[in-house]
Amino acid sequence: MSDNAHNRPGLGIIFVLAGVIAISVNDLLIKQLSGGYPLHQSVFLRSGIGILFTLVLVQYEGGWSILKTRRPFVHALRGLLIVIANLSYFAALAALPLADATALFFVAPLFITLLSIPMLGEKVGPMRLGAVAVGFAGVVLMQRPWAGSAALEVPRIVLLLPVLSALTYALNQILTRRLGVESKASAMSVYIQVTFIIVSLGFYAVAGDGRFAEGQTNESVIFLLRAWRWPTPEDWPYFIALGVNSAIIGYCLSQAYRLADAATVAPYEYVGLPLAVLWGWVVFAELPTWEVWVGIALILGSGLFVFLREQQKARAIARSTRIRGRY
């Protein structure tokens, strides 16, 4: 496939928007189930159901042969990074309001923009770097570093979990861009689903009986370590929806970062911020504090600036190319 086939920013943006919408629904479902099931069970059922849908996409994109890879260790590293990103974020989600957890995670697109410079050789100018700095200021504001432990209502480590998730997620997407020229999006999604299944089964083998959750008071720890139990009939639709969302997320995000530069695609992930606020308000009657509102405004503003700057740069390059083509 030619380089032009892997440089389609418009299509990449469509895929990342679809993936972000699916992520917002996924977060809502995980939080809904966090009070009755352990995280590793939710992850196992989500991935077990999701891989069935992903294998259909494998057949569509070329059949079983596309699952072969010459770089299995890089795929394994990518899978582990996304597992860490998901587990740390979902653990935080059990204790934090949906909008707060999502807002803290949204340092990820900023990490992606910065990491794309040394790891992918992409050019990010000083104006976009300045916008990224504004976005980071918004994330710091949301974490309220001036507040004491009593005022935070959750342990400081819980507030840091979404940031760890953001960093590992950013590294995963950078690896996706590196692998994109030789791996189909559905194949990369299968590798991640398999990694989730293996890790969740490992959790079950060690902590599936819930013995490590006894005596714990931290909601994130309890969510991570409580005992497995068979889902009720009322909860099965949630798990099935999680599985479908898992397939959509894995495919759409892999495809987005295959088709466009990371610095171009990443700002569109900010759409997840207003979606998180909406779900938190409608479903859980949660509204952000003033710090979160200001932080969201800073991040959305910086993301919009990065996008406009990228579009301006693309138009300038296109004009230059047309002029050169005349001589």
Question: Each residue of 7-41: pLDDT tens digit?
Answer: 678 888 899 999 999 988 988 899 889 888 999 99
Please list, in sequence order, all residues whose beta carbon lies within 8 angstroms of the beta carbon of residue 135, skipping any fewer than 6 positions away. 106, 107, 109, 110, 298, 299, 302, 303
Query: Alpha carbon 322 to chain centroid distance?
Result: 38
pLDDT of residue 103: 83
263 pLDDT higher than 60: yes
In terms of average pLDDT, the best of 14-28, 171-185, 210-224 is 14-28
- Burial tier of 198 (Cβ tally within 10 Å: 0-12, 13-18, 19+): middle
Mean pLDDT value across residues 38-67: 89
Alpha-carbon span 287 to 200, nearest angstrom: 32
Lowest mean pLDDT among 72-81, 191-200, 204-213: 72-81
184 pLDDT higher than 50: yes
Rounded percentage of the chain residues whose pLDDT exceeds 90: 17
Mean pLDDT value across residues 256-281: 81
Mean pLDDT value across residues 92-114: 84
Lowest mean pLDDT among 54-68, 261-275, 307-321: 307-321
Distances (CA, A) of 3 to 180, 182, 212, 326: 11, 11, 51, 23
Q: Is the pTM of this model over 0.75?
A: yes
175 pLDDT higher than 90: no
Mean pLDDT of the chain: 82
CA dihedral 168, 173, 175, 177 (to 10 degrees): -170
